[in-house]
Structure 1
Amino acid sequence: MSARFVRSRDGAAAIEFALLAIPYFLIVFAIIETFVAFTGEQLVSNAVDTLSRQIRTGQITAANTTKADFRGKFCDEVSILITCSGEDSSKLILDIRSFSKFAEIPDDIPRKNGDLDATDTFAPGGPASINMLRAYYRWSVLTDLVRPYISGLRPADGSLPKEFLIVATASFQNEDYE
């Protein structure tokens, strides 16, 4: 009976599946999460393009739009996949500023102790002014095992990040819309 037991292959597929199921599903869920995060990046980028076009043409100005109204318009653009209200409101940072020359526009992400150091700014310029619109969104990572190790942002306590920073930027000169 023991020789027959040793030769038996009953249940071998179940054991192989049990050994491979966890890594397989981790990879599948990581692929799905990466796809959804990429879609979130595209949403933020499209919202930046749409709202910068409205600033450039004078539809959105400091005189006719408040910071809260602008944030609401941005959130309406990304609401398909991203929530900007309630406890998630701190994940989105919008930075709209005016400059006298294109060379003055910052080309780096503001950091403090390795983490993002930015607050909402709403100061678009008037006609023919040079402007920059940047959006930062902290995308929560659930299954991605690699991204926390390659992220450039680190929490102040030194732990591994649980978020991926989505950044979209537009620099433009307003039309002379007066």
Structure 2
Amino acid sequence: MSSPVSSSASSRNILRRFGRNRRGSAAVEFALVAPVFFALLFAIIETAIVFFAGQVLETVTQDSARLIMTGQAQTAAYTQAQFKTNVCGRIGVLFDCLNGIFIDVQSYPGFASVAINSQIDGAKNFVNNMKYCPGNAGDIVVVRLFYQWPLFVTGLGYNIANLNGSKRLLSATAAFRNEPFLANPSPC
């Protein structure tokens, strides 16, 4: 049977040898740093994708708004559904267009009367009060597109959601004066 003094000396030797052994230190350090590294990496990737999707939505808004600005939508008597079909034809595969894109087109007699409201209420819900009024020649028109982008990295402590359900409302706006064109007056 070993004495208590020799067993404490052997435990100190074991601890000393364990402290000098560096074979597993890289694995331990990686295990400590990896969760933070991957959380940061995924947050950067998700932010980049959200910014890219926002830019795609801006480009589609500008391109689609030209149909209204030049009077093509009014001359063809587009409904909101037909205008949305045209928008969805330009948007590609990044969005679920038929179920996810919301289009608001409103006309005003002058720039001073333009009123843009937030589409997010106090409880962080999306307010769907979309209208379609492309206006007549010379009217001021504001075209807005909205998409509720799903977020995935919010559970890791990084949250850029501005809607309930871990979603970010992407919006794009085009404001312009309609060009002179010959068409039947818009019934707005």
Q: Say yes or no: TM over 0.5.
A: yes
Distance 2:75 2:112 in 1: 23
Q: 1:70 to 1:82 in 2, by over 3 A?
A: same
Distance 2:75 2:152 in 1: 38
Q: Could you say which structure has the higher helix fraction?
A: 2
CA contact (8 A) 1:98 1:129 kept: yes
CA contact (8 A) 2:148 2:168 kept: yes
User: Is the counterpart of residue 120 in structure 1 residue 130 in structure 2?
Assistant: yes
Superposed CA RMSD: 1.9
CA contact (8 A) 1:95 1:135 kept: yes
Secondary structure of the 2:97 match is coil
The equivalent position to 1:98 in structure 2, one of 107, 127, 149, is 107
The equivalent position to 1:71 in structure 2, one of 84, 106, 131, is 84
Cα displacement (A) at 1:14: 0.5
CA contact (8 A) 1:56 1:174 kept: yes
Q: 1:62 to 1:105 in 2, by over 3 A?
A: farther
Q: Which amino acid aligns with 1:23?
A: V
Distance 1:113 1:62 in 2: 39
Cα displacement (A) at 1:111: 4.0
Distance 2:94 2:169 in 1: 15
Larger Rg over CA atoms? 2
Kindly report which structure 2 residues correspond to 1:26-175, keeping only aligned pairs within 5 A, or say none: 26-61=39-74, 63-85=76-98, 89=99, 91-114=100-123, 115-144=125-154, 145-148=158-161, 151=162, 153=163, 155=164, 161-175=165-179
Distance 2:30 2:79 in 1: 57
Distance 2:116 2:129 in 1: 17
User: Which residue number in structure 1 is paired with residue 33 of structure 2?
Assistant: 20
Q: 1:91-146, CA deviations, whole angstroms, 9 ceiling, x for partnerless residues? A: 32210011112122113314434333123321211222221101111111111413
The equivalent position to 1:176 in structure 2, one of 163, 173, 180, is 180
CA contact (8 A) 2:153 2:159 kept: no
CA contact (8 A) 1:62 1:124 kept: no
Aligned length: 165
TM-score (norm 2): 0.79
Instruction: Extract structure 1 runs of 4+ deviating beyond 3 A.
Output: 110-114
> More displaced, 28-37 or 1-10?
1-10
Q: Which amino acid aligns with 1:74?
A: V
User: Which residue number in structure 1 is paired with residue 9 of structure 2?
Assistant: none
Q: Could you say which structure has the higher strand fraction?
A: 1
Q: 1:62 to 1:177 in 2, by over 3 A?
A: closer
What percent of counterpart residues are identical? 31
CA contact (8 A) 1:96 1:121 kept: yes
